[in-house]
Structure 1
Amino acid sequence: MTEQPDLFAVTPPLPDWIAGVDEAGRGPLAGPVFAAAVILDPDRPIAGLADSKKLSARRREILAAQIRERALAWAVAQADVETIDRLNILRATLLAMRQACDALARPPQLILVDGNRLPTGLPCPARAVIGGDALEPAISAASILAKTARDACCLALHAQYPHYAFDQHKGYGTALHLERLVQFGPCPAHRRSFAPVRRLLQDKQA
């Protein structure tokens, strides 16, 4: 006897493709701000995802490689120094976040953004999640990709401008960075709209 199909069977709903979004590099005095978007694969979990700031550089690199290999989709975008100075750092960051979402190979159905602000023009519904990089695995993954991309950029800046020690301070306004800024003046990678850099330029023109 031929088995008849179950007329009462319910087709399971499609899984929700949830993209986590985070940034790296809002606070530094130099270099681009980076944003990443990640859709994790529930069938290929990644152990140890956490806020990138709480991980060692070596652990971030290991996890970043796993994220790129196992995620359903991921993308990294950046807003350069000229864009930051033209728009301001918040708007430039939100722009990079939106570009990362737009670049995902698989369109998400929901976007979770770390923080309390959402970019405009996102391709689907979105929620802001304060402290999301420690709460949502997809946001943790995005924070790791953004941070490792930003760190790689700082190493490239160090190779180009070694006397600023970008490999050590990663562009943040540390005592060492401020000392080198005063000694050598701003380089093309510095954000002119940020107060310590702007003051040096104004003093030079005075």
Structure 2
Amino acid sequence: MGQRPAASVQQRRSARLQKWHLSGVEDSQYRSMNVVELRGLLRERGLAVSGVKSLLVKRLNDYVTNDNLGPNRTIEFSQQDYSNIAQEAKRARAESQLDLSENTLQPSSKTPPLAPSVDNVHCLPRTRELQLLAAPIVPDTNLAVIGVDEAGRGPLAGPVVAAAAIVPATIAGIIDSKKITKEDERERIYEELIRSPGIRYAVAVISAKRIDEVNILQATLEGMRMAVAGVMNIDREIQVEKGNDSNVASAERNDSSYVITGGSPKREVPNEIYYALIDGNKVPKEMPCQCESLVKGDGREYSIGAASILAKVTRDRLMHEYDKMYPKYNLSQHKGYPTAAHMSAVGKFGASPIHRRTFAPLKHMKFDEHGNIM
């Protein structure tokens, strides 16, 4: 009698997965599975598949013990959870001999390869964040990683908005805001994000006037620096004070640049230091903490993706307000971008106080003090 052919790795994996699907998996069984198998279970349940093994095990175990929660649930991680995740990442780094020698105290343009942007997943991975937690840049400190992004560099009208955020909770739907095409979906994720446990965030609104003074690149970098400083110095009393307009993004404040903050009060963490991950290829000067830039980071890193949603929704809300102040331009529709309809309105009605006069074609036009074309 001939021997039975050895089952392939894929066949054995499928058999194990089927067995666990039918029997109801316990935490100990999750830990005996490999990462590929864990991600298969996560996808089947509509949960996020990013993260190291200990995070995947926790996510699955939480799902089993909270079976009334669906794929849009929020998972909170404690400081001990993050410590465990960091240890898991350190072990994985040692196994794969990943070189983290670039994790110095100076901003670095050379970072280890990041996970690519992935379609059909529920949130971005924390690739760089976990690398930093696994190899602290300063020994005997607690590192808080801040994601930073902006919205509104290209429009002819309105502010550029930069956001910075520390987001301990993993929230389904945190991806690059530009890939979330429905405004109501961005709004839903934004509301879940700002109410998530342990979040600390700041949003800097840089006016069109300031953009014209220093140019859009410098205004954007200025906003990023202001937002990071805002996260590092959150004043809880300002956040909760009723009727305090100084901590509200408003179209009425169109001549000034300002920062609003939100989230949980600043935690009393011993030896806490900050490190910012900034979307793009430039780092603002005089940053209040160590940082690095990540090209296309808003589609690759969780904290930057979260910041992109904060920035985008804040700016869109402002543009809806501006639309009521300046209805001739239909700002709610195009959000100030140079569409044909917007360009036609500028040619017909001139410029509003929130139009960027240094942007073409406005910079080639002459206006009187009321914005009328001369």
| TM norm structure 2 | 0.49
What's the CA shift for 1:15? 4.5
What is the correspondence of 1:1-206 to structure 2 with a 5 Å cutoff?
A: 15-41=142-168, 44-55=169-180, 56-70=182-196, 71-104=198-231, 105=234, 106=266, 109-201=274-366, 204-205=373-374
The amino acid that maps onto 1:54 is: K
Identity of aligned residues (%): 42
- Secondary structure of 1:195's counterpart equals coil
Measured in 2, the distance between the counterparts of 1:167 and 1:108 equals 40
Aligned length: 192
Ranked by relative contact order (alpha carbons within 8 Å, sequence separation 6 or more), the top structure is 1
What's the CA shift for 1:108? 5.5
With 12-21 and 193-202 compared, the bigger mean Cα shift is at 12-21
Measured in 1, the distance between the counterparts of 2:277 and 2:300 equals 11
What's the CA shift for 1:204? 4.3
Q: Is the 8 A contact 2:209 2:354 kept in 1?
A: no
What's the CA shift for 1:81? 1.1
| TM norm structure 1 | 0.88
What's the CA shift for 1:187? 1.1
- Secondary structure of 1:201's counterpart equals coil
- Secondary structure of 2:170's counterpart equals coil
Q: Is the 8 A contact 1:19 1:108 kept in 2?
A: no
With 116-125 and 102-111 compared, the bigger mean Cα shift is at 102-111
What's the CA shift for 1:16? 2.4
Which consecutive residues of structure 2, in runs of 5 or more, have no partner in the other structure?
A: 1-82, 84-139, 235-265, 267-271
Q: Which runs of 4+ in 1 moved over 3 A?
A: 12-15, 202-205
Measured in 2, the distance between the counterparts of 1:164 and 1:26 equals 19
What's the CA shift for 1:72? 2.6
Measured in 1, the distance between the counterparts of 2:199 and 2:328 equals 41
- Aligned residue number for residue 6 of structure 1: none
Measured in 1, the distance between the counterparts of 2:207 and 2:152 equals 11
Structure showing greater radius of gyration is 2
What's the CA shift for 1:201? 2.1
What's the CA shift for 1:63? 1.1
- Secondary structure of 1:109's counterpart equals strand
What's the CA shift for 1:47? 1.0
Measured in 1, the distance between the counterparts of 2:150 and 2:160 equals 7
The amino acid that maps onto 2:364 is: R
Measured in 2, the distance between the counterparts of 1:164 and 1:92 equals 24
Q: Is the 8 A contact 1:39 1:108 kept in 2?
A: no
What's the CA shift for 1:200? 2.6
Measured in 2, the distance between the counterparts of 1:52 and 1:151 equals 12
- Secondary structure of 1:163's counterpart equals helix
Q: Is the 8 A contact 2:177 2:309 kept in 1?
A: yes
Q: Is the 8 A contact 1:18 1:109 kept in 2?
A: yes
Measured in 2, the distance between the counterparts of 1:132 and 1:168 equals 27
What's the CA shift for 1:14? 5.4
With 99-108 and 144-153 compared, the bigger mean Cα shift is at 99-108
